[in-house]
């Protein structure tokens, strides 16, 4: 099963976005991870100022020193079949079984992207590094989500207030509620798991060249107190830093953020890019937040 988590710190929802990353778990610092989207691990991403981290969680089975994707009876299989069809999924499973051999251990939850055979690692220690806000696209059970939050200590920081009128970051810190949880499916769960629908709106995310980029409504329509801008070129399976150089450049990214702000009549709350240290994501975020960069002292 797949779950996407987004950690983000910000002031009120009327303020500009923090810097964000899609597939933050997919990075070159992870041993044997294929087709990374970023160069550095989650800890370095947070240290560098990234505050919106989208990550995928899968059920997996440790097998012979690797991790085998567990698709039986899960929402992951349905999502993969929507993309490649039943025959393509079956073929992928046959290849998987040939590549990953050995005795199966107990099923666990791992950071993976699509298939755990392409890279996987344990979740709890990384979640302990996420202490700001958290959004969940849930394909694992709410019981397992709750367990991960308890094991990582994130449960101590969950936000329990309104998702219509957001408090300021100062107020959230004062209440020690710096972590907000949203579930995409809307399945019943603890009261602190807020439904995504009606709260987060976004742009499309499957652009194949820069000129395709638009600000039109995608998931979430045009309602919701939070606005997500997706800003990367889709080149599955391997993202390309050369594309990030183009779409993450200061003038291009700032222009798109301002265009989306005008078209959607909403300040962006998350700007999400591949290869965050290529281009000028953090500089754009500072500009949108009205932070004037000072010239270095001579």
In a domain, 80, yes or no: no
In a domain, 111, yes or no: no
User: CA 32, CA 30: separation in Å to the nearest integer?
Assistant: 6
Mean pLDDT over 247-257 rounds to: 97
Q: Is the pLDDT of residue 96 over 80?
A: no
Residue 62 has a CB neighbour count (10 Å cut-off) of: 20
Q: What's the mean pLDDT when you consider all of the chain?
A: 82
In a domain, 152, yes or no: yes
User: CA 14, CA 38: separation in Å to the nearest integer?
Assistant: 29
Among the listed ranges 51-55, 108-112, 219-223, 252-256, which one has the minimum average pLDDT value? Answer: 51-55
**Residue numbers of the domain that contains 160:** 3-66+118-288
Q: Which residue has the higher pLDDT, 216 or 118?
A: 216
* pLDDT score, position 73: 57
User: CA 240, CA 11: separation in Å to the nearest integer?
Assistant: 32
Please give the radius of gyration of the chain, using alpha carbons only, rounded to the nearest integer.
19
Q: Total domain count for the chain?
A: 1
* pLDDT score, position 289: 86
The CATH number that applies at residue 132 is: 3.20.20.190
Q: Which residue has the higher pLDDT, 275 or 94?
A: 275
pTM for this structure? Answer: 0.77
In a domain, 187, yes or no: yes
Q: Is the pLDDT of residue 7 over 50?
A: no
In a domain, 101, yes or no: no
Per-residue pLDDT tens over the stretch 115-173: 888 899 988 888 877 654 445 555 677 888 889 889 888 888 888 888 888 888 788 87
Per-residue pLDDT tens over the stretch 20-77: 888 889 999 998 899 999 999 988 888 888 877 788 888 888 987 788 888 765 566 6
In a domain, 295, yes or no: no
User: CA 89, CA 94: separation in Å to the nearest integer?
Assistant: 9
* pLDDT score, position 242: 96
In a domain, 149, yes or no: yes
Tokens 């907000």 belong to 180
Scored b (16 or more CB within 10 A) or e, 45-56 reads bbeeebbbbbbb
In a domain, 75, yes or no: no
Among the listed ranges 7-11, 118-122, 126-130, 178-182, which one has the minimum average pLDDT value? Answer: 7-11
């Amino acid at each position: 099963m797949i779950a996407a988590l987004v950690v983000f710190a910000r002031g009120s929802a009327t303020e500009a976005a923090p810097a964000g990353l899609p597939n933050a778990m997919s990075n070159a610092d992870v041993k044997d991870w294929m087709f990374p989207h970023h160069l550095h691990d989650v800890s370095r991403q947070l240290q560098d100022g990234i505050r919106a981290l989208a990550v995928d969680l899968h059920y997996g089975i440790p097998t012979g020193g690797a991790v085998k994707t567990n698709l039986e009876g899960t929402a992951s299989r349905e999502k993969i079949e929507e993309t490649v069809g039943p025959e393509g999924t079956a073929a992928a499973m046959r290849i998987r079984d040939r590549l990953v051999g050995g005795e199966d251990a107990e099923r666990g939850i791992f950071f993976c992207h699509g298939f755990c055979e392409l890279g996987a690692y344990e979740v709890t220690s990384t979640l302990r590094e996420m202490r700001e806000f958290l959004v969940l696209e849930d394909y694992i059970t709410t019981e397992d989500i709750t367990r991960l939050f308890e094991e990582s200590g994130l449960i101590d920081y969950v936000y329990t207030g309104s998702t219509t009128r957001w408090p300021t970051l100062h107020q959230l810190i004062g209440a020690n509620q710096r972590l907000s949880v949203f579930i995409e499916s809307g399945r019943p769960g603890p009261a602190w798991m807020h439904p995504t629908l009606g709260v987060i709106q976004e742009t499309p995310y499957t652009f194949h060249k820069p000129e395709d980029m638009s600000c039109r409504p995608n998931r979430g329509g045009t309602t919701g107190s939070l606005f997500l801008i997706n800003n990367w070129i889709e080149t599955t399976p391997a993202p390309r830093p050369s594309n990030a150089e183009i779409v993450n450049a200061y003038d291009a990214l700032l222009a798109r953020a301002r265009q989306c702000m005008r078209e959607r009549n909403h300040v962006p709350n998350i700007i999400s890019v591949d290869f965050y240290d290529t281009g000028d994501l953090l500089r754009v975020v500072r500009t949108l937040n009205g932070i004037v960069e000072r010239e270095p002292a001579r």
